[in-house]
């Protein structure tokens, strides 16, 4: 079968009114959420789908570099096509990353051609379910964050990630109130990536170490990106203090930096947005390194349900002791708690994802 069409559609959901997220020393305003929907078709009528970066630059790359390369090529082995592409247009790093998003649609078609789900085609699943951590908590005051987390827990989730940067005392109070509200057996993840993005209001290293130590009393699952992502040696020094588990990876620029993060064992949990940072092929290589290093992996995912299920198909090819978690963005609706409305995140799929007791059953 030959590839006959490669299309990238930019989707956008403008908010009814700007959303203002206030934090320590600043404010972030969000006007809309964007996403990319990739559709690849072959001459025998098979269609594959993939998520992609929600940017005009990425769409231009698909239209001008990836589609011309793929159209009229035989799709028998996605890996072989990738090797050829990387020797040509893929020598550009941005082009290569975008191709790895499109490649998910190629795996989808290849699986359909053999009557197999993607997971069986990219390694073979060893389980059917993967643990989810509900992701919301956008710089909410302590009481509001605890109320949101309780509402999300009532949906059946057993883990919750919050973004916090309200100042050290209020950050700690937020975690304390979450633990009181949710009880001792609920997993809490603290995303601290704003701590080093506040300019003159950045948290000092002493403050970060003190907060990490104080948060350990509330048994958090991990502290995510409390330091700039390139500071692997700083992460290692903080990890060696054995205060709380550390997580990082979503801002790593490429495979070499991921490998340094893993091989130096600078964190406890390696994170990667597999749909945006290198695709299935790089994910599989990194999982092997994570396993050899005795670390754990947790998917980062901040987009649509298509991104979630695409990552899940790779995750279930590895045991939970290696690939432990998958991020599940919780968007709000009139009858559902979440960070803000983004209805097309779910509407992108014909059928809703099957979530039960905090786990996703992978179709």
Q: Where are the domains of the chain?
A: 3-115, 129-361
DSSP 155: T
Shortest CA distance to 187 belongs to which of 340, 298, 51?
298
Question: CA 9 to CA 105: how far, in whole Å?
Answer: 13
Shortest CA distance to 145 belongs to which of 159, 130, 160, 158?
160
Question: CA 301 to CA 130: how far, in whole Å?
Answer: 14
Query: What does residue 129 show for φ and ψ, rounded to 5 degrees?
Result: -130, 155
Beta bridge partners of 360: 130, 355
**Tokens 């996403």 — which residue?**
35
pLDDT at residue 199 in the model: 87
Alpha helices in 183-252 (DSSP H): 205-215, 232-240
pLDDT at residue 25 in the model: 83
Answer whether 299's CB lies under 8 Å from 360's CB: no
pLDDT means over runs of 10, the chain (363 residues): 98 97 92 98 98 97 98 96 96 96 98 95 95 97 98 97 96 98 98 91 96 98 97 98 98 96 98 94 97 98 97 98 98 95 97 96 96
List CB contacts of 4: < 8 A, sequence separation 6 or more.
41, 42, 43, 71, 72
Q: What is the pTM of this model?
A: 0.96
CATH class label, 129-361: alpha beta
pLDDT at residue 200 in the model: 87
Q: What's domain 3-115's architecture?
A: 2-Layer Sandwich (3.30)
Q: Give the β-pairing of 296-299 and 47-52.
A: unpaired
Query: What does residue 26 show for φ and ψ, rounded to 5 degrees?
Result: -175, -175
Beta bridge partners of 332: 341
Per-residue pLDDT tens digits for 235-256: 999 999 999 999 999 999 999 9
Question: CA 308 to CA 303: how far, in whole Å?
Answer: 8
Beta bridge partners of 131: 325, 359
């Amino acid at each position: 079968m030959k590839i006959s069409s490669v299309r990238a559609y930019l989707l956008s959901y403008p908010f009814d009114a700007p959303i203002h997220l206030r934090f320590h020393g600043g404010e972030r305003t969000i006007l809309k959420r964007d996403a990319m929907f990739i559709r690849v078709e072959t001459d025998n009528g098979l269609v594959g789908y993939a998520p992609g970066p929600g940017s005009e630059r990425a769409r231009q790359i698909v239209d001008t570099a990836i589609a011309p390369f793929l159209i009229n090529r035989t799709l028998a082995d996605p890996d072989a096509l990738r090797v050829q592409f990387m020797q040509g247009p893929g020598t550009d790093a941005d082009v290569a990353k975008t191709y790895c998003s499109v490649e998910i649609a190629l795996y989808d078609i290849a699986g359909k051609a053999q009557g197999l789900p993607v997971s069986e085609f990219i390694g073979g699943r060893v389980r059917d379910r993967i643990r989810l951590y509900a992701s919301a908590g956008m710089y909410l005051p302590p009481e509001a964050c605890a109320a949101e987390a309780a509402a999300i827990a009532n949906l059946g989730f057993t883990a919750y990630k919050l973004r916090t940067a309200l100042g050290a005392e209020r950050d700690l109070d937020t975690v304390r109130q979450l633990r009181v509200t949710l009880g001792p057996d609920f997993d809490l993840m603290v995303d601290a990536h704003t701590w080093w993005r506040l300019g003159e209001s950045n948290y000092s290293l002493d403050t970060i170490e003190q907060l990490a130590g104080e948060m350990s009393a509330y048994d958090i699952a991990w502290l995510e990106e409390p330091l700039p992502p390139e500071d692997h040696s700083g992460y290692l020094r903080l990890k060696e203090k054995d205060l709380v588990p550390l997580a990082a990876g979503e801002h790593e620029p490429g495979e070499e930096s991921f490998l340094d993060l893993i091989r130096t064992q600078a964190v406890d949990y390696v994170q990667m947005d597999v749909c945006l940072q290198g695709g299935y092929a790089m994910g599989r290589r990194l999982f092997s390194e994570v396993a050899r290093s005795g670390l754990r992996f947790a998917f980062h995912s901040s987009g649509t349900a298509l991104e979630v299920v695409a990552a899940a198909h790779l995750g279930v090819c590895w045991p939970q002791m290696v690939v432990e978690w998958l991020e599940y963005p919780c968007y709000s609706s009139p009858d559902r708690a979440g960070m803000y409305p983004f209805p097309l995140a779910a509407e992108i799929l014909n059928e809703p994802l099957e979530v039960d007791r905090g786990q996703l059953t992978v179709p």
